[in-house]
Structure 1
């Protein structure tokens, strides 16, 4: 067993001469090409994005908002250039297109013509988002496009925060102004409610007054109807009276007769007739006295018993008859008295100034004019009264409508008053709910609302950069390639121990221990260069070094197994194939869930899976059950590989034609 622990002749063989020693040194240093060179080249690519050339095109034409000129495109372009996040060069759209097309620039950022208009669009009837256009060309570099897209998201977030803050601030300014307007509206609504209370009282009075007016107008309408009927009768009477009168007047005027001369004659006749009538009146009175006396005498004589006396009464009978039937009878005397009175009245009337004036007007024609005016005036009076009656009818109808409308108004004003009071109360409550911001509070609120959710990331066992995150995979890959290189220089199984009948395990170990010594050197050198040269911060140094040695030892045993079983030519091919399968199944670059389904199936059976998991926990921290599992799996694979190699060494004691004449020789 101690012989199996010796380094054998392999190391001694490579310790003599310059080239063998250079070969050993090369085997020790070669894993640095993968474990250190790759990490160095891609140590922090995302931290160097500001060195990637990109084109900036500002086509923004600006906009007017609230009477102010807004040039959001200029502000964003200046902010992008001053941020230092990207290596931006501002140019025309055509230059940017050509630059991205020929690879001079990895991508371009374009601010379109309506950028400012879109920024202020929330204050318009057509709000829409402002576009920030990124143009990539994957023919230049796909990863450059991916990195540019990540940068685009960061730029978009920052620009969105800035523009969003401005947009929200504009909205909040409007809200603050609206709040002041609501305060004014609330005060106005209170005043309106007070005035509507007064209006309600006035409406009730108006309804009462309009009802009284409607009743009075109805009474006036009825009275005007009666007046209309009376005026019609009056007009008809005047027409019937003035018609004949005008005819007589016209006849008198056309006959040439002067009524004034007849008046004078009548006055003279009345004057002359008056004494005669007086005499006749006296004579009639005397005759009446005589008749009464004769009748008394006759009555007295008839009462006398003396026949002669009674005969005398008969003698007076003719006298009585004459006095009663002839001469001036009482009726005639009464007529004479009436005629006398009439004559006196006529003389008085004809002497009246009015009659004199009328006769004068009759002779001059003025009477005709006055009678005509009377007739026309009565007709006009009738027409006016008809118009008045019609107007009063309309007024009565309007008064009724006014009364109805006033009644409806009076019925509605309480509701209007209640609504105004409710409106005033609602506006007062709304005014209380509208915040009263100062400028500083408004700006702070705009900042919060424009970015209501802040990204607060917590990293457990954070890898500070790209290189630190990928170090577990590349260091594991370097250890596998280093082990593969060792077995390209050293013999996986030495022939002399097999021929001499040395035990299988000793045969395997006699080749394994020299190779392990080189593998340990590879791991230590790689760790020191990565840690001190590149600045890899390792959470568990001792554990990481031990695990690196374990990984190298395991890979060394597995590759030795492939060569022992299948021979060196086929074993090397299988080793390369095994390396490719491990790389895509380990989840060392991308999460295994993002790979194709076959590689997800192979993932739990991939040795590199456990090597990468263990290295991650030892470098970044956060050790859990995955580390002991990884250690156990790698140790198990190490022992299993040595056991299988021992079986292959025992098998190789028997020479076959394939061993004597292998189908493939190296």
Structure 2
């Protein structure tokens, strides 16, 4: 140990007394720091200047008309973009946009076709709606990242248009439903009056039946009883005539209501299809986030917000359908409809859970932390399942539920039609009854068989009328009638606003890092420490001269003596780099002392690894150190997540010291999980001790075997020590 310290002290003394060497060492200390600082400053906030990315906007939309109303969605979109500062929107004509994108004046262009508004309205004007298109042209040759940013802007624009159109469409539909509900509410007194009258008829019929039975059993009093019945016939006839008139009036009313309600099946199908489209759109958007997950928190947050809006729109559509089907099923009481409602509730709950997970990811981004692709993939998997469930529900609805709903509206009209027919039959039968009674009154010898004929026919008439009245009473019950009215009536403005923007975002950031430059500091600091150590060993000699007493020094002692010198310099390099990061660049670190100490620790490990390679293998070791550095830049996960790189880099990542150096610095910067920090320290220590073992057992042997080879190379005069 004494010999090792003598070598170390002599190196320090030579440095102190040699001004030229001091200047070189100062350069070796400052240059790696400058390397880190320049890169950190350059990447400080790359996504804060997206407004300087020029994107051409071409609006060719000619607008469209619907129900005496003219709309131009393209113009509305262009007006909104003029106040949007997220990207440098530039409004030009078609030729200028194409030329500008081709020659790099614009990074991309978005063209709104002339039939854009017409296609949006096709949902209401055509049996086969046509999806509106935005034409996105991008020059990917100009820059690698710009197309991703401009595409994110396009996604946000698409989401905004969808939200606005959803609000307008739902407002129109709800206004129509409100009108139907108000009309039905106004007609309630007339319907109740009609039901009371029919009920009175039903209540009077048993009296008629009792009279016939009495006439059958008391044939001796037939004459007097027939006269009493004849006196009641005009009243019954008049009541039937009035009832028939009321039923006809109610039939016209219910026919009108039926025509208004017959669109319910189509509306439910449309809502479910819209919900599915929103859910499918979120899958594409989530995949795009996975592709560009390290391109900046701003764009990821905006994209996730738009995804959340789409999920909220889908949830709202499903909630509306649930409420509507529950109201209908209060009347139908169908197991098939109940199961359909239960499936919709399961889908809604699944989407709500996915939306909660999205909100958690947004909170994570807002705290400056990266989100994991595993979390995004889990949401994609769940949303994909929800999409399939919605598709199954659409098929189930079209095949099984829609016929029930249609039958429900048809039955409402059928009841009235049947009642009218029954009353008309009763009217037709009254002259016959009256004639029979007159004949019986005129012919005192009326036989019991004739009265029995009347008695046998009357129960069927009575049962028919009673059954019809029972159906009307069931339909017009207070609760069921209120359910139908509540289904049709709603607060149009509140519901449409909810459909287009149903979610309030609550953000939660875990381990927040305030800016992109700070987030990149661990990578550039680690890289600068390696570059500093590599440069140091490239310029300074590893050969140790004999000590003053000419005592022979073993290769092991030479190795450790000179290592102390290199370690001292590289520790100073690490201190300059880390302190400069914190106090000159003002990079963020939650635990600055741990950050500085860990940087020093990394420098000690790195210099041991590189020094061992150069000391044992000479110039070949320098080449190995350079190759290892190149591999680590791509395979350490310092820039892009390692999961986004090819399989080769994912496989070698756990084998590289950069992976653990960057991981430890991130712990000190964002918030320490001590078990993770200890793990990174332990893995780095393995590299340190493996390097020592290689030096102890291989240095002397390999150096002796390569002496002749090295001397031959030196004779060329092209390669130094």
Return the TM-score normalized by structure 1: 0.64
Alignment match, 2:155: 153
**Partner Cα distance (1:172, 1:533) in 2:** 60
Aligned to 1:665: 719
For the pair shown, the structure with the greater C-alpha radius of gyration is 1
Q: Structure 1 pair 87/626, CA: closer, same or farther in 2 (3 Å)?
A: same
1:578-657 matched pairs, under 5 angstroms: 578-651=628-701, 654=704, 656-657=707-708
Contact 1:57 1:91 in 2 (8 A): yes
Q: Does 1:137 align with 2:188?
A: no
Q: Which residue pairs with 2:610 in the alignment? A: 559
Correspondence 1:324-339 to 2 at 5 A: none
Residue among 575, 578, 583 paired with 2:625: 575
Contact kept? 2:184, 2:485, Cα under 8 Å:
no
- Paired residue for 2:432? 211
Question: For residues 586-642 of structure 1, what are the alpha-carbon distances to aligned partners after superposition, in whole Å with 9 as ceiling and x for unaligned?
Answer: 222233233333332222221111111101111111423121111122223223323
C-alpha distance in structure 1 between counterparts of 2:557 and 2:643, whole Å? 43
Is the contact made by 1:8 and 1:511 (CA closer than 8 Å) also made in structure 2?
Answer: no
Task: Deviation per CA, 1:102-131: give whole Å up to 9, x if none.
Answer: 111111122232333344455444555443
Partner of 2:476: 424
Structure 1 residues 281-335: Cα deviation after superposition (integer angstroms, max 9, x where no partner):
xxxxxxxxxxxxxxxxxxxxxxxxxxxxxxxxxxxxxxxxxxxxxxxxxxxxxxx
Shift of 1:414: 5.2
CA contact (8 A) 1:183 1:428 kept: no
- Counting only pairs closer than 5 Å after superposition, residues 258-277 of structure 1 correspond to structure 2 as none
CA separation of 1:493 and 1:153: change in aligned 2, threshold 3 A: farther
**Partner deviation per Cα, 1:442-498 (whole Å, 9 max, x = no partner):** 434323322445554533112233222222112111111111111011123425369
Q: Which runs of 5+ in 1 are unaligned?
A: 219-405
Q: Is the 8 A contact 2:426 2:461 kept in 1?
A: no
Q: State the Cα distance separating 1:55 from its structure 2 match.
A: 0.8
Deviation at 1:551, TM superposition (A): 1.0
1:534 maps to 2:588:
no
Q: Distance in 2 between matches of 1:72 and 1:12?
A: 79
Where in structure 2 are the equivalents of 1:237-252 lying within 5 Å? Answer: none
- Compared with structure 1, are the counterparts of its residues 415 and 639 closer, same or farther at alpha carbon in structure 2 (3 Å cutoff)? same
Structure 2: gaps spanning 5 or more residues: 200-238, 245-422, 440-457
Alignment coverage as a number of residue pairs: 477
Distance 1:420 1:40 in 2: 79
Partner residue of 2:4?
A: 4
For the Cα contact (< 8 Å) 2:240–2:427, is it kept in 1?
Answer: no
Q: Contact 1:61 / 1:71 at 8 angstroms: preserved in 2?
A: yes
1:519 aligned to which of 570, 574, 590: 570
* Mapped partners of 1:446, 1:520: distance in 2: 64
Cα separation, partners in 2 of 1:110 and 1:417, compared to 1, 3 Å: farther
- Measure, in 1, the Cα distance between the counterparts of 2:542 and 2:110: 58
Per the alignment, residue 109 of structure 1 pairs with 110
Structure-1 separation of matches of 2:693 and 2:162: 63
- Deviations along 1:260-292, one digit per CA (max 9) or x if unpaired, are xxxxxxxxxxxxxxxxxxxxxxxxxxxxxxxxx
Q: Report the Cα distance in structure 2 between the residues aligned to 1:482 and 1:604, rounded to whole angstroms.
A: 23
Q: How far apart are the structure 2 equivalents of 1:95 and 1:657?
A: 69
Does 2:518 match 1:465?
A: no
Deviation at 1:503, TM superposition (A): 3.9
Q: TM-score with structure 2 length normalisation?
A: 0.59
Measure the CA separation in 2 of the matches of 1:575 and 1:497: 30
